């Protein structure tokens, strides 16, 4: 299976998230949305667990409680991973504050 798991660092995952977001922009579909959201949602888990990164970076991850962009990604990721969308209550109620490209 060598070659399938080329992701070794948070930077690798950020690169994948950028490719996934570009793929979603090019072809908005359920598959491309899933890939972009799930990958993006995992970036901070990788940052948090990378002992080579400065502790200050690992402990200052954005919070869904105060950052609407993070809240949106988490809502989408949580909603997508459940087969029944009704099992997830979204945190974000006002999308007007979400960053736009």
The long-range contacts involving 14-18, CB below 8 angstroms and separated by at least 24 positions, are: 14/43, 17/43
Any domain includes 100 = no
Angle, helices 10-26/30-48, rounded to nearest 10 degrees: 160
Per-residue pLDDT tens digits for 5-64: 788 888 898 899 999 999 999 999 888 888 888 888 888 788 888 888 888 887 776 666
Per-residue pLDDT tens digits for 79-98: 766 655 556 566 666 666 66
Parent domain of 80 = 10-92
Number of structural domains in the chain: 1
């Amino acid at each position: 299976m060598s070659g399938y798991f080329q992701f070794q660092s948070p930077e690798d995952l950020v690169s994948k998230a950028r490719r996934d977001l570009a793929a979603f922009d090019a072809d908005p579909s359920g598959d491309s949305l899933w890939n972009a959201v799930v990958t993006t949602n995992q970036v901070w888990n990788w940052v948090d667990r990378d002992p080579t990164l400065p502790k200050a970076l690992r402990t200052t991850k954005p919070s869904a409680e105060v950052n609407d962009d993070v809240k949106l990604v988490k809502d989408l990721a949580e909603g997508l991973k459940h087969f029944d969308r009704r099992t997830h209550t979204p945190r974000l109620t006002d999308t007007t504050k979400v960053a736009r490209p």
